[in-house]
Amino acid sequence: MSLRSICVFCGASPGANPVYREAAIALGRCLAERNIRLIYGGSAVGLMGIVADAALAAGGEVIGIIPQSLEEAEIGHKGLTRLEVVDGMHARKARMAELSDAFIALPGGLGTLEELFEVWTWGQLGYHSKPLGLLEVNGFYAKLNDFLDHLVVERFVRDHHRAMLQINESPSELLAALGNWQPAVEPKWVDRKPS
Ligand code: AMP
């Protein structure tokens, strides 16, 4: 699958450890070097601003999508290729998804998790067949990964839906995995066996 535009979800904060900033820079640069357009939430703050700045500095194209109500709080980035101001959060997520061929989450907070899980559930339901991945940094997502495995063991999530989420610490390896990903054909599984 050729990936021309990738949506990155990440913290509006920089996090406690400089490794998060370094990972955002590495990913932004890696996207630009491969001529992959970065689609993101349009903010100039936190890891969001850092990934955008890194892609722009490496000559990449960056499109930000920000809700009107947040443009001040999150500070809309003024130096992007294009900043789209939309009506609200739902419009933001729909537009980011529409423009993107794949999704990557860097470390972040509740917003990042919400965005990642929403596109994942859309994929599980067959609303799209776009790959998604986690850029793991210093074990940041290790506990979440353990919990996701637990969901499979407890038969709330099927193996191949769990496997939709590619996980890698290297931006270039993650991009390669997303490019090679093949969507599963089976629809969402609901366990109807009596307990
Ligand atoms: P956070 O990971 O909490 O730092 O948030 C990262 C980004 O996600 C910020 O731009 C938030 O505005 C955004 N965000 C938070 N909640 C939502 C939501 N429900 N839908 C879309 N974006 C959100």
What residue's CA is closest to ligand 1, atom 17? 111
Instruction: Give dist(CA 53, CA 55) in Å, integer.
Output: 5
Residue-level pLDDT at 114: 97
Q: Which residues contact 131 (CB under 8 A, 6 or more apart)?
A: 1, 102, 103, 164, 166, 177, 178, 179, 181, 183
Q: What is the pLDDT of residue 130?
A: 96
64 lines ligand 1 (CB under 6 A): no
Burial label, 99 (beta-carbon count in 10 A; 0-12, 13-18, 19+): middle
Can you give the pLDDT at residue 70?
Answer: 87
The neighbour count for residue 129, using CB atoms within 10 Å, is: 14
Q: Is the CB of 89 under 6 A from ligand 1?
A: yes
- Give the integer Cα–Cα distance in Å for 5 and 22: 21
Closest approach atom of ligand 1 to CA 46: 4
pTM of the model: 0.94
Q: Does ligand 1 lie within 6 Å of residue 185's CB atom?
A: no
Contact 43, 80 (CB under 8 A): no
Question: For 187, how many CA atoms within 13 A lie in the half-sphere containing its CB?
Answer: 3
Hey, which of 112, 113, 116, 144 would you mutate to test ligand 1's pocket, going by the most ligand atoms within 8 Å of its Cβ? 112
pLDDT of residue 119: 97
Atom 7 in ligand 1: which residue has the minimum CA distance?
A: 111
Mutating to test ligand 1, I would choose from 7, 39, 84, 114 the residue with most ligand atoms within 8 A of its C-beta, which is 114
Q: Are 178 and 133 in contact (CB under 8 A)?
A: yes
User: CA torsion sign, 116 to 27 to 83 to 164?
Assistant: negative
pLDDT tens string, the chain, 195 residues long: the values are 789 999 999 999 999 999 999 999 999 999 999 999 999 999 999 999 999 999 999 999 999 999 999 888 889 999 999 999 999 999 999 999 999 999 999 999 999 999 999 999 999 999 999 999 999 999 999 999 999 999 999 999 999 999 999 999 999 999 999 999 988 766 555 666 655
Question: 164 and 124 in contact (C-beta within 8 Å)?
Answer: yes
Contact 152, 158 (CB under 8 A): yes
User: Which domains, from first to last, does the chain contain?
Assistant: 5-180 (3.40.50.450)
Cβ(44)–Cβ(76) below 8 Å: yes
